Amino acid sequence: MKKPTYRKGIVVGLIVLFFGASVIPGAFSVLHLSKSVPISGNRGFLLIPDSTTKTVGMYDPSDGTYLGDLITDTTHLQTPINAVKGPDGNIYVSDQLADSVFVYSASGTYLSTYADGTDGLNNIRGIDFRGTHLFITSGDAYVAEFSGPHTRLPNFIMDGSDTFDILFLTDGRSLVADIAGVTDNIRLYHVNGTLQSVLFQVSFPEQIQFDSVYPGAFLTTAFSANAIKDFELNGSIVQSTPYGAGRGIFRLGNGNLLATSSAGIQEIQPGTGTVIQTEKTGSGRFIEIFATGTNQPPYTPSNPNPVNNETNVPLDDILSWTGGDPDPGNFVTYNVYFGTTSPPPKVASNQSGTTYNPGTMSLLTPYYWKIVAWDNHGASAAGPIWQFTTRPNHAPNTPKNPVPANSATGVPTNAQLSWTGGDPDPGDLVTYDVYFGTSIPPLKVATNITSSTYPPVGMTYNEQYYWKIIAWDNGGLSATGPLWVFSTINDTTPPTSHHQLVGTMGHNNWYTSCVNITLQATDNVSGVDAIFYKLDSGNWTEYTIPIEVCTDGQHAVNYYSVDNAGNEETPKSVSFKMDKTAPVWTNYTFTALNLLKNKWKCVANVTDATSGIVLVEFFVDDSLVGNATTTPYQFEYKGKPINNSQAIAYDAAGNSAMSPIAVSFEYSNQAQQQSHPSTQTVQKKNI
């Protein structure tokens, strides 16, 4: 007993819903299909060669049921690959090992050999008719063309591709399976046999077949890729179904796939590859239709969406309907009639999808539409004229939920305004006018913005602001929000600033190096805007980097800071004094006061322009002998010097300077005196 199968209508609906629509060229609806002649359940059967039993079996195209063998021929058949119905009603079977195409009657009787090795054929595979000409693929990298028995024409394709199957489209172009090693792919050829494009790569493709359930798409089995690919002429893969070492493929009327491999002939579930039932064991090959009976017209289009006489239809609604054909394998296309008059004009022809996008429709307008279905044999079925009315326009939603909230206080000055709006009509475009300011009514500051946020510029502290939003839709209706108010942060406290002095401190609070003054300020509410300062009697200047002062003397820095609310601090000041310069010597004298030269007068002639001289120390023969703290800076030394005398002067900042060396020598029995410089130094004294 067969397992449950998917009903055709359900499968068609799911596939179209999941993958979308595909448009087939107009020629698909009028030209004869050679390998896939559409049939209804009582109009024919599937032909599947079995290379193990040397037979060609018959199978039900609706559910794949095995109906028995039509051809059993162990005399001629060795490895039958492809059995197709010819234009004369006979069956043509390609045999890979026999390098021949054999002809059988519709009842399965051997009639003749159409072509064989005497015609130069070798390692042949899939075949197909275009009109009365037979095209044969070969492992010798060509597609041979025959106009009659043993009448071979120049090769149709000979571009190096290792052809395994050929399928002619209704417009005369062809799809070819190429298994030339690393370049395995599916190819599309022009009518004249020149390559149009490589659609996609897939490892070892064998049969190519029309997909009767998904018009405009095709099926191929990939032996080495272990997959069945459902694809379109643009190369896109619409579905991939796992299936091991597949050879032949066909879409059954119930929507499932019938596939062949060394495991036999199996009905499988699309997408998952689940084996529903093995119809027959053996080594099945390619699958083709043998059509009988008469063609049935397509189903009359039904189930319109929008439903007939529907109102309040969205302006961007998509038209859809149910179609199809009672004959499995038939291709159905649709002509769409649509407009504001009845009967409506034709707006689309030969589309395969069961949806149509009319674009943005007008408000509160009656529309009329009709669908005419056509199959690829020229039979048609016209649906009734349906009518619907689009929705009226409604005003946008009144703006609400303001941020900042109405009457909010303490709002930051960089706050962004936001609100909720929208429109009750799906698809309507809403824009907003923004009114904002410190007066009532506020001024318009933005027009036709699409965002529901607005960043006001230049808000200040301690201020009250008013705002409102007016929403507009693309139909010209508007909705005005209420007047909202909020207050920014209240800040009446000035910032606090302080200073830091950096330099080398000498004595008596005198700096003996350049001084760097760093100013800083804090404000816990609105934040510091700027710090200003002036040095001594200079001008007020905005503080940006530390202030460096290198001039000796008394200095004063005044400074204050201002916060972002405009609050100004009471100026502060800092004073400091600087003396980087050592005392300056004019001269130093060391003079004998008597002939015995045992009394000497030490006189220091030295000055200091800034902090002043506070101490002079006198040295004789490198020993401290006395000092002076006031002018004149002099000292009387009692004793006889051996070598020299020198003095050191100190200013109030601690800077010091050593005098020149005064040298005097006393020579016995000598009339002259001679001076020699001293090489000794005297250490600076801390004072």
What is the 3-class SS of 229-254, one letter each residue? EEEECCCCEEEEEECCCCCCEEECCC
Helix (H, G, I), strand (E, B) or coil at 338: strand
Cβ neighbors of 370 (< 8 A, separation 6 or more) are 336, 337, 343, 344, 382, 383, 384, 385, 386
Q: Residue 16 pLDDT more than 50? A: no
Alpha carbon 278 to its chain's center: 47
Q: Residue 165 pLDDT more than 50? A: yes
pLDDT digit string (tens) for 513-567? 999 999 999 999 999 999 999 999 999 999 999 999 999 999 999 999 999 999 9
Report which of 414, 420, 361 is spatially closest to residue 396, judged by C-alpha positions.
Answer: 420
Per-residue pLDDT at 189: 97
Per-residue pLDDT at 512: 97
**Residues 519, 497 contacting (CB under 8 angstroms):** yes
- Output the CA–CA distances (angstroms, integers) from residue 429 to 319, 358, 394, in the order listed: 22, 18, 12
Both tokens of 286, joined, read: 């390619």
Q: Residue 242 pLDDT more than 70? A: yes
Per-residue pLDDT at 255: 85
pLDDT digit string (tens) for 95-142? 999 999 999 999 999 999 999 999 999 999 999 999 999 999 999 999
Per-residue pLDDT at 328: 60
Handedness of CA 221, 227, 230, 234 (dihedral sign): negative
pLDDT digit string (tens) for 571-620? 999 999 999 999 999 999 999 999 999 999 999 999 999 999 999 999 99
* Cα atoms found within 13 Å of the Cα of residue 17, Cβ hemisphere only: 8
Per-residue pLDDT at 1: 36
Q: Residue 315 pLDDT more than 60? A: yes
> For 12, phi and psi rounded to 5 degrees?
-60, -45
Please spell the DSSP secondary structure of 475-542, one letter per residue. Answer: TS-EEEPPPEEEEE----PPPEEEEEEES-B-STTEE-S-EEEEEEEE-SSS-EEEEEEEETTS--EE
Per-residue pLDDT at 43: 60
Per-residue pLDDT at 217: 85
Within 10 Å of residue 634's Cβ, how many Cβ atoms?
Answer: 16
Helix (H, G, I), strand (E, B) or coil at 183: helix
Q: Residue 151 pLDDT more than 80? A: yes
How, if at all, do strands 380-382 and 366-375 pair?
Answer: antiparallel
Both tokens of 348, joined, read: 């689309």
Maximum alpha-carbon separation in the chain: 165
- Output the CA–CA distances (angstroms, integers) from residue 475 to 127, 297, 358, 390, 420, in the order listed: 61, 45, 19, 13, 20
* Amino acid at residue number 611: S
427 against 644, higher pLDDT? 644
Q: Residue 4 pLDDT more than 80? A: no
Per-residue pLDDT at 64: 94
**Please, what is the average pLDDT of the chain?**
89
Handedness of CA 24, 25, 28, 30 (dihedral sign): positive
Burial class from Cβ neighbours inside 10 Å (0-12, 13-18, 19+) for residue 292 reads: middle
Band (426; pLDDT cuts 50, 70, 90): confident
Per-residue pLDDT at 479: 97
- Report percent pLDDT > 70 for the chain: 89
CA-atom Rg of the chain in angstroms: 53
Give the mean model confidence (pLDDT) for residues 606-635. Answer: 96
Q: Residue 396 pLDDT more than 50? A: yes
Q: Residue 26 pLDDT more than 60? A: no
CA 596 – CA 221 distance, rounded (Å): 135
All structural domains of the chain? 8-291 (2.120.10.30), 302-390 (2.60.40.10), 400-488 (2.60.40.10), 496-578 (2.60.40.10), 584-663 (2.60.40.10)
Peptide bond into 441 cis (omega under 30): yes
CA 608 – CA 593 distance, rounded (Å): 29
pLDDT digit string (tens) for 262-282? 999 999 999 999 999 999 999
Burial class from Cβ neighbours inside 10 Å (0-12, 13-18, 19+) for residue 551 reads: exposed
683 against 501, higher pLDDT? 501
Per-residue pLDDT at 313: 94
Give the mean model confidence (pLDDT) for residues 9-37. Answer: 32
Per-residue pLDDT at 214: 66
Give the mean model confidence (pLDDT) for residues 463-491. Answer: 96
**Residues 344, 381 contacting (CB under 8 angstroms):** no
pLDDT digit string (tens) for 654-676? 999 999 998 654 433 333 333 33
Give the mean model confidence (pLDDT) for residues 219-244. Answer: 95
CA 114 – CA 96 distance, rounded (Å): 14
